[in-house]
Structure 1
Amino acid sequence: MAEGVVSIVVPGLSNPIIQELKFLDGVGDKIEIGQTQLQIMQGYLKDADARQGRNEAIRIWVASVRDAAYDLEDVIETYVLKVAFKRKPNIGSDIEKITTKISQLSSIMPSLNLHQTRESGGDTYFQRQQERRIAYPHIVDSHVVGLAPGTEILATHLIKEKGPRVVSIWGMPGLGKTTLAKQVYHHGEVKRQFDCFAWVCVSQQCQGREVLKEILTKLISPTNEQRQKIEDLGKDQIAEWLWNTQRERKCLVVLDDIWTSDAWSSLQAGFPMNEQTGSRILLTTRNKEVTSYADKNGFLFEPQSLNDDESWELFEKIAMFETKDHKIYEHKNELGTEMLQHCKGLPLAITVLAGILARKDTVDEWNTVHKNVYAYIRRGIDLGPNYKVSYDNLPYYLKLCFLYLAHFPEDYEIPVSTLTKLWMAEGFISSALVEVMEDVSYMCLSELVGRCMVQVGKHGMSKKIKTCHLHDLMRDLCMLKAKEENFLHIINYSAAVEIKQTSNGRVRRLAIKTIEAYCPGRDENYGHNSKALRSLLRDFTLLRVLKFEGMNVSKFKLPNEIGNLVHLRFLSVKNGHIQAVPSSIANLVCLQTLDLRNHCWEIKIPNRNVFSKMEKLRHIYLPFRPSGGEKRLLFATEAVNLHTVVNIYIQASSDLYDFVKLTNIRKLGVICGGEEKEKGTNIIFKHLHSLSVDSRFKGLPIPWNIVLSCPKICKLRLHGEITELPEDLLCLRNLTKLTLSGFGNLKDDHIKVLEKLPSLRMLFASVGIFQASLVCSEGGFPFLEFLSLYSLLEFKEWKVEKGAMPSLCRLHIEYCPDLEAVPDGLQYITTLKELTIKRMLSEFCSRLGEGGEDFYKIQHVQSVIITNISPNRPG
């Protein structure tokens, strides 16, 4: 990982403030020499990183380079901050030690023969890996489960007369991509459709000429004379011959396990991609980018993990066999079912586990495997050729992002918005001036997903990834590489001991896990132990990330020592019982993200200027109930990259004038503390995507002038006294998600505004007296996909006309005790796939059951979930 570290550190040495170091005797020259030497070494570090696992000397050298780069970054940043605080730093001797070490490491480099490694040795290693992964099309797997639907879908696209030129199978290692491709390759209709066939396994280091030669040879079945001619041809001539062959005949070429877009680029000259031909390409890959690069109009198929029944069917075919002893069979059945849970539906893992058990006859042997099942699976799959090469093939910045996921617990759904901010705080993300760092960070996540290193959890309504997680096998790889690279150290911490004594001094990231909470970061998570926190703040002054969330101690004040952590980029004390932050928090001038959200307690903020020096601030989440909220908080005028401001307390819309000047602001959350007296407002937020307005504590009406000053918002959340919905809301043409909470005396004509919103896809209506009639007219809510109705009292009348809500997929109804029945018009909404009923009266629910009065309205819905049924009212 030295390549990634050096790639982050070297650009930072160009900071203009560092030029002041030239006035220190010889120090400026030493930094320039160290910077130059790091840049030179950077060209060889990718080879060194890949080879260190097989050469102890290189491993030690790589670790030393990484540590020296980190040390130089630390001392330079300390200097920059001291200059910013108008202090006179004395760091000449520290820099000299580090740059001397870098010079020594540079002088050692030739002896490591890294030039030779790049030119020859590396190829041999990857060839060995390729040999272990190679798949032969004539060897058809005897145990195949769950592939029939995918086989038919793929075969249909391949044999279409005007079908896609390229058909792709994309997924993580072990998902059965190659097995599925074989099924398609031997499909009867496919065999009849094409004249000639070629199957090639594309190595990680793709040799374009050799692959094209192999394809051509398999397609034309050459004579000895033609073979010799092919051997004598250059790549361009082979490509032309292959091109013409596919134009003249119907050819099916399978490119199995193609890794990169560059690999496709080295082959595409041999394929007539821009002409109408009967030839087709079927490719398998673990990198989604390859599929669109090969053919943006191609067909992409992603195999899914096996479900429980399919998993058992595959397992049973391999591992289980008939025995006269019924008890033994049942015992094995029980053990096998439990062990299968560790496979998570991955065919390779199931096959490996079943293969191991097939050689174990007794129940005792099965019990032995059961006790260490995951170790058996990992050993059988071998994280080396199947997974490590995926990691080695990542660019350095993605390696850093991937390793950072080792912080998170097993099976944890990682919030993407938090993860991308943490990557930014660590310095993993850089961007050009035209790019927003948040967008670059999200693209890094998308690329990891595209390479099957990370799995998607949930999508938001904008189709962006909302949560993600690691498959168990990928998490094993992540933990293994993080340990190898000394990237992260994880310890369990419960006693009130000095943190400094528990950690290795060379560890850059320390994850300390407790029962109370989990908080990832560069150094992190100390439960509710205040002594541990003070130790952290005193001893770890170079911290960049600190998440100290969910603390259970009441009346706790964040220690004044927090101001010592001047290197912090990310600080979160969310959902704790912290009642005050000290004035020393103003020292945290490097902060990018500050999260003080707390729904239970007031948090005292010392003065209105506390954030005024935080010029690098991008995301700030203020306490939900700020103490002394009447004070207008001031932010740094230079904080031009301020992206998120949540829970800002205002007395009037004029308090928002300062934020209008910040053109990068995307998300704004406002808490209203005074009734809006202005009828209109001159403020316009041209760039805002998300707005939240909360006026519930003062019992105030919604300040519509603020809402209407944000013409491009996509998400709007209103919480307060909602007594009207003005027609002017229809000007919000980009609004896709609307949350309304706190109804009172709303009129029927106000409700009609909602169904006319041109882009609305999600509507949450909750809490309050809802006496208006909800009428969904024909053609109303044209794009609404999700509707939630929660805790609406006196809500009785709901009518859905035929043709209303033609896109509705999900409907949630919870605790609306006065609603007697679902509307008749639901029967016409054929797109409705999921209906959830919760905490509704027994009478209401019984009408929806099979044979009930309202069953005909929802019988077409695939998933109907009715839970927490309430008893009927007396009488």
Structure 2
Amino acid sequence: MAEAVVSITLETIRNLLVEEAKFYFGVRSEVQAIQQELQRMRSFLKDADSKQDADERVHNWVSQVREAAYDIEDNVLVFVAAKVASRRSRISRNVFRKMDCYIKEMVTTYRVGSQISDIKSRISGITTSLQTYGIRSITDPGEGTAMRNARIFDLRRSYSHVVEEDFVGFEEDIKMLVAHLIDEQKDRVISIYGMGGLGKTTIARKLYIHRDVRRHFDGFAWTCISQQWDKKDVLQGILIKLIPEKRGEILGMRDEELVKQLHDVQLKKKCLVVVDDIWSGQAWESLKPAFPNTRTGEGSKILLTTRNKEVASFVDPSGFLYEPRCLSNEESWGLLRKKAFPRREDDIAEFKIDPDMEILGKEMVGRCCGLPLAIIVLGGLLITKHTLRDWQMVHENINWYLAKGRGHGQQQAVTDVLAFSYHDLPYQFKQCFLYFANFPEDFEIEAEKLYQFWLAEVNVKETAGGFKNCCLHDLMRDLCITKAKEENFTRVIDFRRESYASSNTTRRVSVYLDHNVTNYPVSCNEYHHIRSAFFYASDCKRDFLQRMKSHLSSFKLLRVLDLQGFHCPEELPKAIGDLIHLRYLSLSYSKFKKLPLSLGKLIYLQTLDLEMDTEVEIPNVIWKMERLKHLYLPVKFLTGDGKLRLDGLSELETLVNFSTSLCDVKDLDGLINLRKLRAAINDKLDDLPNIIKYISFTQNHLRRSSLSISCPQFCSDAELSLLRTLLASALDEDPMATLEKLPKLSSLTLYESTYVGEKMVCLTKGFPRLLYLKLWGLSNLKTWRIDEGAMPKLSRLVIAGCDKLEMLPDGLKFVTTLQKLNVRWMPDGFKDRLRTLDGEGEDFYKVRLVPDIKLD
């Protein structure tokens, strides 16, 4: 990890030297000298990082280098902040203010120059011990580091994308468990228990989406308990999944109302509730009143996973207990093959592995003790190794690593393989991994936002796409937390529960708050050097940010500030503008009445997330943020100065909630690097031609765009053909004839009053790229025809509230890509045609290949 810190420090210095060369008058020679020293030291760190677990002296040496690099970056950033403040003061008419800033600048220049000289001497002393510890210089031969790392990252993305599909060794177990679930005379609770890494959650997911299980139950809900959980959140989450039509009502219920409602709904209809990763009997005791304790009613059941057999027995002493076995040697090797050679095994039916590689692979997989998670991680490591020599290197290193006496037994095998995989990561991806320690347990992380965090701090240039959200396996998170503590990477302050702590020199902090927090959680004297601050608020007291106002300006090195869930009717503190190095600012899920004018001072900002829950007043200063790459506007906002200006944002790549009533369409022409646009036209169609022109322009970089129009009328068929959402348009002619010709349309929703006709037809070759289709509240629709060859990529279909629709179209049987079918609030007769009651329903043959069918 020290290699990562040194490398990022060097990049920070290099970027600032290039972008702000004029700032360095007075300290340039010191900065350049220490830059050269760090570059020389970096070549030794790869070897040192690999040895530090085995040698405490090397571990201490690496820690000293890491902290020295942090201290250098601290001083450089403080120096730049002082220069920026001085430059701004020069435009002031106040002579005393100019003089004051000039004096502060001179003092800062002297102090920074002196401190950098001291750190250089410190590093020289550290360097003299290299030979003592047997640390040698290592450089990367062959292909460039950036290119190699990008290739590795891409391969690992594709590997992680198919984890669930490579299922080995439990086919008969799945059949047995399905039989228990759908037999209403058998156990009310089925528990899957065993050590971490056995694949408990994977098996539960296979059962959850199993075709026979989906046909049997009427309602489905999945919740994860883990070690830290909130009873109200869990109950609300389960209820919303079981009765989604009452979402608004559920969110306003008290605890006792939630308990009774959840209890009653499981008596009224046949429900399957998965309670994943429950750790204690105490947790179940709290939830128990919400679940019927009898087999009466509609046959609802609970599927539970836990590491602790005693917990499973406590939940239901007479329930069915199942412990997944470890994989056999043959099954283990089969799973490793799928993970290490996913593309080759799929593409070449008779693909053969080099015999010598197979010998090495079988020896390595034997160290995994038959645990699926350990094998999957090892496969993820080997997927980047393509030659026999590569495999020999991994074989030698993993044997050395696992033979150090770190522990014994199956659980230790998982831990050691995970840790070895971490050490094999390229240096910048180690920081990417440790960044997960900033998020709460079982927190679903948006991949797009995660990349923006990395962009702000780790300087990752570009990553491969392919998924929307991610979440860490609990064992992987344990490793992440452990390594984050060892590397002094982050500190978590959880005022709801007991938290772990590291030294006060940590550069990142995550604070969890709730309505009971009354004291200020972070001392500015201890944390003035932090780079990232995450605040997770849940009904937090309003005075928290008031107290924070006087401290914000102390955190001048902040690059990431994430304020989630704050309900503050006043203005965001003006001191936010003093955080000159801020790269990422998020106010998502928060409520602020007004944002300060000082926001325009954040000249280095790359991501600004203002997707708040209420209307907010935004000052017209965003156009000043020339480095901004990602902008998320609120759905509703005000500007005190006409329309919000966005001209000048030439580096902008993401623009969400662009509204023609609040922003100027002409500004889009200057956004030459925009890749994602989510726009809306309300009330008037005057700006539609310009929006169409921009989206259609072939020379721009736009990859994803969506346009929402809410107007009582439409002007022409040409304009209509570009609509993604047709809210309240009251069309009497079938819109599919026009919409199915759009070559890149991937998602289509037709809401109530969109189409008032009775017949709908989807022709052959229509909707070539449509993935998602929702028909919602089309009250007059009676017949729907799908020709063979239409919608060849459709993955999800939702039909809700179309009361007169007689049946599913026969042509749906040709849509073999369909994975999910949700039928909501439809007449019982329509749903009965899809059920398997004493045999198959009349329409079931049309969707018999769909793995996930939900009838609400």
TM-score, with structure 1 as normaliser: 0.60
Residue 800 of structure 2 is aligned with which of 814, 817, 820? 814
**Cα distance change on mapping 1:679 and 1:614 into 2, 3 Å:** closer
Residue 99 of structure 1 is aligned with which of 108, 113, 117? 117
Higher Cα Rg: structure 1 or 2?
1
Determine if contact 2:356/2:388 at 8 Å carries over to the other structure. Answer: no
Residue 562 of structure 1 is aligned with which of 570, 576, 598? 576
Cα separation, 1, equivalents of 2:691 and 2:725: 25
Output one character per residue of 1:355-390: Cα deviation in whole Å (capped at 9) or x when no partner: xxxxxxxxxxxxxxxxxxxx9988533623x12221
Cα separation, 1, equivalents of 2:655 and 2:455: 18
Deviation (angstroms), 1:739: 4.1
Q: How does 1:666-745 map to 2 (within 5 A)?
A: 666-672=675-681, 675-677=684-686, 680-681=689-690, 684-685=693-694, 714-721=704-711, 728=718, 739-745=724-730
Q: Which residue of 1 aligns with 2:665?
A: 656
Determine if contact 2:445/2:470 at 8 Å carries over to the other structure. Answer: yes
Q: Which residue of 2 aligns with 1:380?
A: 412
Cα separation, 2, equivalents of 1:195 and 1:35: 49
Cα separation, 2, equivalents of 1:41 and 1:687: 51
**Cα distance change on mapping 1:485 and 1:682 into 2, 3 Å:** closer
Cα separation, 2, equivalents of 1:49 and 1:745: 65
Cα separation, 1, equivalents of 2:423 and 2:353: 36
Residue 632 of structure 1 is aligned with which of 628, 643, 646? 643
Deviation (angstroms), 1:845: 1.8
Residue 580 of structure 1 is aligned with which of 573, 594, 600? 594
**Cα distance change on mapping 1:717 and 1:57 into 2, 3 Å:** same
Output one character per residue of 1:784-826: Cα deviation in whole Å (capped at 9) or x when no partner: 3432212333333423345543444432112223334323433
Output one character per residue of 1:452-490: Cα deviation in whole Å (capped at 9) or x when no partner: xxxxxxxxxxxx121222222222211111110000111
Residue 552 of structure 1 is aligned with which of 557, 567, 583? 567
Note the aligned Cα RMSD (angstroms): 4.4
Correspondence 1:146 to 2:170: yes
Determine if contact 1:22/1:28 at 8 Å carries over to the other structure. Answer: yes
SS in 2 for 1:612: helix
**Cα distance change on mapping 1:541 and 1:425 into 2, 3 Å:** same
Deviation (angstroms), 1:718: 2.0
More displaced stretch, 852-861 vs 783-792: 852-861
**Cα distance change on mapping 1:178 and 1:563 into 2, 3 Å:** farther
Determine if contact 2:768/2:791 at 8 Å carries over to the other structure. Answer: yes
Correspondence 1:286 to 2:296: no
Correspondence 1:180 to 2:340: no
Q: Which residue of 1 aligns with 2:766?
A: 780
Determine if contact 2:52/2:59 at 8 Å carries over to the other structure. Answer: yes
Determine if contact 1:544/1:569 at 8 Å carries over to the other structure. Answer: yes
Cα separation, 2, equivalents of 1:804 and 1:57: 66
Residue 474 of structure 1 is aligned with which of 459, 473, 476? 476
Cα separation, 1, equivalents of 2:656 and 2:335: 53
Determine if contact 1:788/1:813 at 8 Å carries over to the other structure. Answer: yes
Cα separation, 1, equivalents of 2:731 and 2:678: 24
When the two structures are aligned, how many residues end up with a matched partner? 598
AA of the residue aligned to 1:65: V
Correspondence 1:623 to 2:634: yes
SS in 2 for 1:557: coil
Cα separation, 1, equivalents of 2:73 and 2:689: 51
Cα separation, 2, equivalents of 1:625 and 1:293: 56
SS in 2 for 1:83: helix
Cα separation, 1, equivalents of 2:673 and 2:336: 52
**Cα distance change on mapping 1:292 and 1:467 into 2, 3 Å:** farther
Gaps of 5+ in 1: 121-143, 150-171, 187-192, 204-252, 260-282, 296-374, 430-436, 447-463, 690-708, 733-737, 869-875
SS in 1 for 2:35: helix
Q: Which residue of 2 aligns with 1:277?
A: none
Q: How does 1:583-622 map to 2 (within 5 A)?
A: 583-599=597-613, 601-606=614-619, 608=620, 610-622=621-633
**Cα distance change on mapping 1:2 and 1:182 into 2, 3 Å:** closer
Gaps of 5+ in 2: 88-100, 139-167, 174-196, 200-325, 338-349, 368-376, 390-406, 517-529
SS in 2 for 1:764: strand
Residue 540 of structure 1 is aligned with which of 544, 552, 555? 555
Deviation (angstroms), 1:726: 6.0
SS in 2 for 1:404: helix
AA of the residue aligned to 1:865: I
Deviation (angstroms), 1:685: 3.1
Q: How does 1:85-124 map to 2 (within 5 A)?
A: 85=85, 86=87, 87-88=101-102, 89=105, 90-91=107-108, 92-113=110-131, 116-118=134-136
Percent identity among equivalent residues? 31
Q: Which residue of 2 aligns with 1:357?
A: none
**Cα distance change on mapping 1:516 and 1:642 into 2, 3 Å:** farther
Determine if contact 1:415/1:467 at 8 Å carries over to the other structure. Answer: yes
Higher RCO by CA contacts (8 Å cutoff, separation 6 or greater):
2
Determine if contact 1:722/1:746 at 8 Å carries over to the other structure. Answer: no
Determine if contact 1:48/1:114 at 8 Å carries over to the other structure. Answer: no
Q: How does 1:263-662 map to 2 (within 5 A)?
A: 285-287=379-381, 289-290=383-384, 379-381=411-413, 383-384=415-416, 386-429=417-460, 437=461, 440=462, 442-443=463-464, 464-493=466-495, 504-515=503-514, 522-527=532-537, 528-533=540-545, 534-535=547-548, 537-553=552-568, 555-599=569-613, 601-606=614-619, 608=620, 610-628=621-639, 631-635=642-646, 637=648, 639-651=649-661, 655-662=664-671
Cα separation, 1, equivalents of 2:655 and 2:421: 38
Q: Which residue of 2 aligns with 1:78?
A: 78
SS in 2 for 1:789: strand
Correspondence 1:6 to 2:20: no
SS in 1 for 2:66: helix
Q: Which residue of 2 aligns with 1:792?
A: 778
AA of the residue aligned to 2:801: Y
Determine if contact 1:378/1:473 at 8 Å carries over to the other structure. Answer: no
SS in 1 for 2:778: strand
Q: Which residue of 1 aligns with 2:182?
A: none
Cα separation, 2, equivalents of 1:598 and 1:405: 24
Determine if contact 1:822/1:854 at 8 Å carries over to the other structure. Answer: no
Determine if contact 2:560/2:584 at 8 Å carries over to the other structure. Answer: yes
Q: Which residue of 2 aligns with 1:134?
A: none
Determine if contact 1:422/1:521 at 8 Å carries over to the other structure. Answer: no
Cα separation, 2, equivalents of 1:633 and 1:13: 34
Determine if contact 2:647/2:668 at 8 Å carries over to the other structure. Answer: no
Deviation (angstroms), 1:392: 1.2
Determine if contact 1:798/1:823 at 8 Å carries over to the other structure. Answer: yes
Determine if contact 1:34/1:103 at 8 Å carries over to the other structure. Answer: no
Residue 841 of structure 1 is aligned with which of 803, 806, 827? 827
Output one character per residue of 1:227-264: Cα deviation in whole Å (capped at 9) or x when no partner: xxxxxxxxxxxxxxxxxxxxxxxxxx9796799xxxxx
Cα separation, 2, equivalents of 1:72 and 1:3: 14
